[in-house]
Amino acid sequence: MTIMQNNIGKKRICFTVYKSDAYGGVETVARSLVNSFSNEYEIFYLGLLGEDRSSVYGIKKEVRTDSLLQSSYESKRLRSLQWDVLRPMYSWIKKNHIDIVVVMGHYPAFLIAPLACILRAKIVFCDHGALMNQWNDKKTTLMRFIASKACDKIVVLTKKSNDDYIEKFHINPKKITYIYNCIEPTANDSKQYDASSHKLLSVGRLSREKGFDQLIEAMALVAKKHPDWTLDIYGDGEEADNLRHRINELKLAKQVILKGKTDKIRDYYKNYAAYVMPSYREGLPLTLLEAKINMLPIISFDVDTGPREIVRDGVDGFLVEPKNIEAFAEKICELIESKELRESFSEKAKENLNVFEKETILPRWRDLFEEI
């Protein structure tokens, strides 16, 4: 790849993700940011791992994309992978005269943390999870601790995570800030809400922390009262077979459909009556923001961080005590049984979205870059 010469006066900023060809929430946020700042700064999008640079779609041509190692390195043990990453990362940053490295996620931040003491470039650790959600996971907590101490600046997603880092890791308050994920309206975002739909929607990686096992149990209770209502779950992951098996055990094949992975989910929100999120833990879920911008009522477990920043309980959705499957099912039924309530939640869905709009979020990132 040929790198253009640095434009005079423009900072050179590299957004670094674990895998350049992945398409989860972290990568979605990273791509939105690189596109947003591509005209102001010299922007790079770098994966520590990644097979094919041409597979990185959805990024403006002004952004230079690259990857350090092939995806096969992912099978290596953590310490071995760190050694493999450090030398090429150091050379890449020096070669491209990078001023600021924004590392998206605690795992890649930990991998490159040892470079912080020898690089001229400043390193920003952007944590897309929540510290206390995985506090008892000693390995993950240690990675976050090392990354937060080594890097020059920390960005978290919520005020609570900001305060938790200060309290638990004794971080200087001047070193850390919180910046919400921003939502990008598109032509596909619904302007009208279909209150006649009998379909529920949930989106996410089919992994343990996303709680789809809880949602299937809740739907078993809902189906007894409302067998004509269905749930579509979009996503793939390691729990797919287990979830499919449980759906069949509960004889819910007609009510709960695993739709698989899609890159067109924002085309589909308009077809649903409500969005349901059963996660055990979250950072600041983009899917809730996308549901709100599409005017969908929301039912979510009130986990430690994330949903309460977005959903106003009883105003545009319901927040349910975590792991209380019966209460979750009851709220789904309450929404199903009242078209007026669904319409009221829908009408109020966009009222508090301004704090997540680009006009609010991008200046905070810009201030951070200029401060560094």
Res. 304: pLDDT tops 70: yes
Long-range contacts, stretch 24-30, CB < 8 angstroms, 24+ apart: 24/205, 25/128, 25/181, 25/283, 25/285, 25/286, 25/287, 26/104, 26/105, 26/128, 27/104, 28/286, 29/104, 29/128, 29/181, 29/182, 29/286, 30/104
Fold of 12-182+357-371: Rossmann fold (3.40.50)
- Confirm whether pTM is higher than 0.75: yes
Mean per-residue pLDDT for 308-333?
A: 97
pLDDT at 22: 82
Structure tokens at 190: 């619904």
Each residue of 267-295: pLDDT tens digit?
A: 899 999 999 999 998 888 889 999 999 99
How would residue 96 be classed by pLDDT, with cut points 50, 70 and 90?
Answer: very high
The answer to whether residues 202 and 275 touch, using CB atoms and an 8 Å cutoff, is yes
Class of domain 199-355: alpha beta
Residue type, 4: M
Mean pLDDT for all residues in the chain = 92
Cα 50 from Cα 35, distance rounded (Å): 20
Domains 12-182+357-371 and 199-355 equal at CATH topology level: yes
Band of the pLDDT at 5, cuts 50, 70, 90?
Answer: very low
Q: Where are the domains of the chain?
A: 12-182+357-371, 199-355
